[in-house]
Amino acid sequence: MTQYRSKLIGNEDERAVSPVIGVILMVAITVILAAVIAAFVLDLGQGQEANPQAGIQFDEANSEVTLNNLGSNTQGVYCSNGGSYSGGSFSGEYATSAGGTFTCSSGENVVGVTESGNEAVIQSL
């Protein structure tokens, strides 16, 4: 009877190897599954929006900013001091199309607005 038992179970040196490897594999699989589920549940990496971008040109002599182009996610740009606007298309307080100019003092910021309403400084003058 002992002879069959040693063949089925294995000798003393071989018995501990298989359970240790099995536990390590189960822990690894559990960690990987938890990471994948957490990524889906927490929606990591989604909802991030790029900063507004615009091509502008600043004329120091006249303190004028000319809007050359808007980035694909940019709704408009404006000067942080308010300023006055001329030419181009304007919506409320900011320029919405290329060709418009607005007056900014030196030391002010040109601020871009994304389509979702987020604002970021495009350039400090």
Q: What is the pLDDT of residues 66-116, one digit of tens each?
A: 777 777 777 778 777 776 666 667 666 777 777 777 777 777 888 888 877
Q: Are residues 35 and 68 in the same domain?
A: no
Quote the pTM value: 0.54
- Does residue 62 share a domain with residue 38? no
Which of 111, 123, 125, 124 has its CA nearest to residue 74? 111
**Count: domains in the chain:** 2
Residues 31 and 62 in one domain: no
Please check whether residue 117 lies inside any domain of the structure.
yes
Over pLDDT 90: what percentage of the chain? 10
Clarify whether residues 78 and 99 are in a common domain.
yes
Q: What is the DSSP letter of 82?
A: B
Residue range(s) defining the domain that contains residue 68: 54-124
Where do the H-state alpha helices sit in the chain?
2-9, 17-42
